[in-house]
Each structure stands twice: as C-alpha cells, then as structure tokens.
Structure 1
C-alpha cells in the first residue's frame, strides 16, 4: 500500500522482455519529487540557472532541462512545467538533498521561493492513457491544470499527474478503474525504452548534458543567455569536445542494473571500463535493459558486460531519436 492511500495497493508488475505492456496502468511515482518555484522573479532566476529556455516555455507544454555546476557537470536533469501559479521541476528524489540547496543558493537576492513540492506524483501509462486523461482533464494542451494539481504529457503513452495530497486518494481511485496498479519500476521501463536521461545520486556531477543526450531530447537551448555551466555546454557543441553519449543496451542479467555501476567493453582480448549505468530494468525472464553513458566513437562489434556480472554479454539497441537533433 502507498504511504498516501488507504485503499490502493501498488505492487511490482512482472514484465517479460517479449511482453506487450498493459493498455492502462497507474503508477505510484514514489522515487520522484518536485521542486517548486513561485514568486515574481521565478522566471528570471531559473533562466540564469538551467540549460533550457524558461522564458519561451509555452504554458501548454513541458520540456527537459538540466541544472549544472560551474564546470558544466549536471546536478540534475528535470522536466519543467507550469504548476500552481509557478513552476515545477520533476526530478529523481535521490538527488534532492544535494541539488535543492544549490538551486536555492542565490535565491535570497530574488523574489522567488524554492521548495520541495508536497504533491503526490502518479503516472498514467498505456495506449488507453490519453482517453482516460481526456475524460478526467478535458482540453488539448500537453499541460492541463485541474483543481488540486496538474497533468503533464510525457510521451505518446504517458502522463504525469501531480496532485495535492488531500485530493490524491480520490483522484487515484477514479483513475485506477480498469488500470493495473504498479510501482515506479514500470515507469523506469518506459523511460529506458524512450532513452530519457536522468541523474541519480550515484551519477550526480559526473557528466555534461550532451553526454546524456540532453540536446537530442530538447533539454538545451543554445540561443538563450548565460546560465551556470554554459561555457562548457557551448564548447561541447561548437568545438566538439564531448566524447560521450548515452546508449540503450540489453542483455541477460539476474539482477537489475543500478545507476553508477560499471559497464566494461571489449578491447581486443581484454576488457576495460567502458561506461556508467544511468538506469536499469530487469525483466521477469532474466533479461535486462539499461541506459549507459559510453564513448561515442566505439568500434562496430564492440562487446559489453557488467563488471559485476562478466558472464553475460550485452548488445547496443537502436535509440528512438537521433543524436544529431537539437
């Protein structure tokens, strides 16, 4: 049972690598959090902190973005959208304790309040998700405000719902009709299949935005003004200094790959550190799928294995987007 619901039971939903995902599932996003920003200076303050263009963000849409340190290494990757007279940044809960104080560091000089949001976060997924969303939150926008919260389109089969705790149980019970209830691991699978980047505590301050394909999913503006880490991000684009990219790999595994684990690559007859796991999902048939940051100049036919499980080889899968997209 969730910590906020007295009636709904969210459990791990076993999925085999060959299975079709449920037509409708409701997910308790317990591993995610919101950062909320309200106040007169919220837009200008955030514009000077993050990689995406907050000034031109249409209230009807959301976008990826990153918050970097001065060297251009990412503290977090988030999805930003308009929420409750301000902005909300959806990001992994594991980095909140270290990233949020850094985002707030200079807020004392601006009219902006930055806090960890208290909303309950739900995911509605599957081919029937859009129909259910339209029934409960009429409209055509990708970001839809409703009493007590906001619904945000993530991709063709997913919506995020951020709802105040006192509305959550009632709304979730309505949305759960004909839906399979699942834990956040199912959302991980959708994210990995979509090759959406994320930062966990284990990968914080390890990579510049392009190393996780943030430019390919619309998370970097190269036309906006200055922000923290901009010099490094711009140099990676215009001088070609970035030597990494994020790839999707699949292989046999008896355990779920964890963020920060090492993936080795074959070099002749030897094995060397090849990359870092960003996110992983283990299927019920002892297959797993993962996102890994690797060198972007790998030779064709390079083999991979997890350092902790060297007996199983992994293969690179085709990304659902082009790394040339900006």
Structure 2
C-alpha cells in the first residue's frame, strides 16, 4: 500500500480531499404525503418520531416491513403542508407500495412526485451562492429552508454540504448557465459513505434491520414513540442485544464499479469466509470507498476482500460516529 493511501487512512473519514462541486443527482426519488392525516399516518409507519417535524428541520428515518427489515432509508421534511420523503431509487418501490397498501383507510394521499423535482447537490462557495440566490439565506446545520421554488437541506457530515430540490418549473427558469454542474454524482455518494449514511438498493431491500446499518447512531430511530411497522423487532434488538452486525466504512486503493449486495469475505487463518454485504460504493481519485454490513466487532484496519474479485482488498476505516449506546 502506498504512502499516499496510508496518509488517507490516518485521516479516517475526513472529507478534506473532496473539492468544491455541484452536480445533479439522478437516483433520488420522492414520496409525497398530503392530507389532514399525513403526519399521523407516517408516524405509525416509520422509525423516526414524525411528530418532531417542524417547518425547518429534517428527520432521517427508515421504513421497515412487518419483520423489522428495512425497505428504505430516507430524509423527510415539510414542504407546503406536505410530507416529503427523499430516498434512493432502490428503496422507493417497496416503500411506496407498502405505504399505499396500508394507507387506504387514512385521510392522506400518497404520490410519487419524483418527476416534479430536479435535485442538485454540492459544497463550497458556488453552491452556497446559488442557495442564497434561490432561498435568501443558508439553512442552519442539519436544517432546511423552503419556498415556492423548492427546498434545500444542509448536511454537516463528513463536512458541510447541501442538497437542493427545485420544482421542474423552477429548475427551467433559474439561471444556471454560469455554474459548472456535473452529471457525475460520485462525489455526493462518496460523502454519504464517509458520513456512514446507508441507503437501500434493490439487492439489499428487506435484508437488514435498521441497527445493522447504524441507524440508531444516526438518530433515525425513536425508541420512545408509539407503535410502527416492524417496531417489535427493532426494540427487541436494542433491549435484548441480539444484533451482531453493523455498517462499516471501507476503502481500497483502486477505482472499481461494484454492485450493492455483493459479498465480502474475511480471513480466518489461511481460509476466507463470508464476512459481510456491500451496501454502497463510490470511486474517486483511484480509490473506492464503500459502506458494508459486517460483524459488529470488526476492528478498524481489518482487511476484507470481494468474493467475486479476490484481488480487491478493502481496509476498514474509522466511523464518524460512535456505536456505543
């Protein structure tokens, strides 16, 4: 391993090497809940306490099936009296179908509003200048701002960055010609991975309970709210200590195109055995970073390889948060 790679490892999950950028995000989807019971209905379906939503905050949450397995991980906020759920496209359909199925008797309308919005994401002065132009100010850390044009979310990890959602009409009318907007969303995905934030893809849908992906450490689970889909399993995992897996950040010194759901192997003596499952990955500057579900006693510095490409060896990096409860 080169000295450059070793220097990266000493920095842990630092985002210092990520330059300023602004890009379009093609893989996000939106579920919109409107109507007088939209908050009470979603409160009974997901892990976060939706009653804590205000006009300017954002909640990370997950939607589980009846067995407590995660269908989607999403951010939710209020926009024009609607509840907006923003998630990776891989988790969209299972969540949308389940919400529609159980929402038939609720006074709420559940719609796919993805086509109504365009997503931009980035960091740095150009991105901040665009936000001030569109919304009049920069939202506080882990907060949002909204108006008729759309909304913006300010994330703090692994460093200050922003997700902008503009309505289709606003996107067409806003002057963006003087901005360099990339179609490559790898840097945004990389920042999610370095922040230890998971997403669900088709291959990982309904495979893991939320704690296997560290969602309790990300404050995406309320253990004091009332019942919701899958709550019994999620609560039992916390109070009986039955969960033996967690998500870890990995890095390797080559650029790779990997599939979510791929198998990782860990070494035991002279043999290799199944060690975990890949959740997501992103390549940048001849490196690949990944988030994977592994045994929860996995140590920083541990080595794992891809089962299908044994020459690809990842090193476990420090998490940006504690898993201690």
> Shorter-chain TM-score: which interval?
0.7 to 0.9
* TM-score for the superposition, normalised by structure 1: 0.87
Q: Is 1:168 matched with 2:175?
A: no
Contact 1:143/1:150 (8 A) holds in 2: yes
Offset, 1:123: 2.8
Which consecutive unaligned segments of at least 5 residues does structure 1 have?
Answer: 1-15
Q: State the TM-score, normalizing by the size of structure 2.
A: 0.88
SS in 2 for 1:177: coil
Contact 2:152 2:165 in 1 (8 A): yes
Tell me, what secondary structure is at the counterpart of 2:217? helix
Two-structure CA RMSD over aligned residues (Å): 2.1
Render the CA deviation track for 1:71-97: whole Å, top value 9, x for unaligned.
Answer: 100011101111232111111112323
1:15-58 CA deviation, whole Å, 9 max, x = no partner? x98783232x2221111111110000001000000000001122
Q: Which residue is equivalent to 1:103?
A: 99
* Cα distance in 2, alignment partners of residues 299 and 26 from structure 1: 34
Secondary structure of the 1:217 match is coil
Corresponding residue pairs, total: 306
| Runs of at least 5 residues in structure 2 that lack an aligned partner in the other structure | 9-15
Q: Alignment partner of 2:74: what SS?
A: strand
| Structure 1 position 66 matched with structure 2 position 47 | no
Distance 1:307 1:119 in 2: 40
Contact 2:27 2:88 in 1 (8 A): yes
Corresponding residue number in structure 2 for 1:241: 242
Q: How many angstroms does 1:185 deviate by?
A: 2.1
SS in 1 for 2:193: helix
* Aligned-partner Cα distance in 2 for 1:317–1:208: 22
Matches within 5 A, 1:118-137: 118-128=115-125, 129-137=127-135
What's the CA shift for 1:136? 2.9
Q: Identify the match of residue 72 of structure 2 among 47, 53, 76.
A: 76
SS at match of 1:60: coil
**Structure 1: how far apart are the matches of 2:154 and 2:255?**
33
The equivalent of 1:297 in structure 2 is 297
CA contact (8 A) 1:259 1:279 kept: yes
**More moved, 207-216 vs 311-320:** 311-320
Q: 1:300 to 1:59 in 2, by over 3 A?
A: closer
- Return 26-35 or 160-169, whichever deviates more: 160-169
Q: What SS does the aligned partner of 1:221 have?
A: coil
- Residue matched to 2:13: none
- 1:31 corresponds to which residue? 27
Q: Show CA shifts across 1:117-173 (max 9, x none).
A: 1332323312323454234312445211122311122334222222221111233x4
Query: Matches of 1:195 and 1:257 in 2, distance apart?
Result: 18
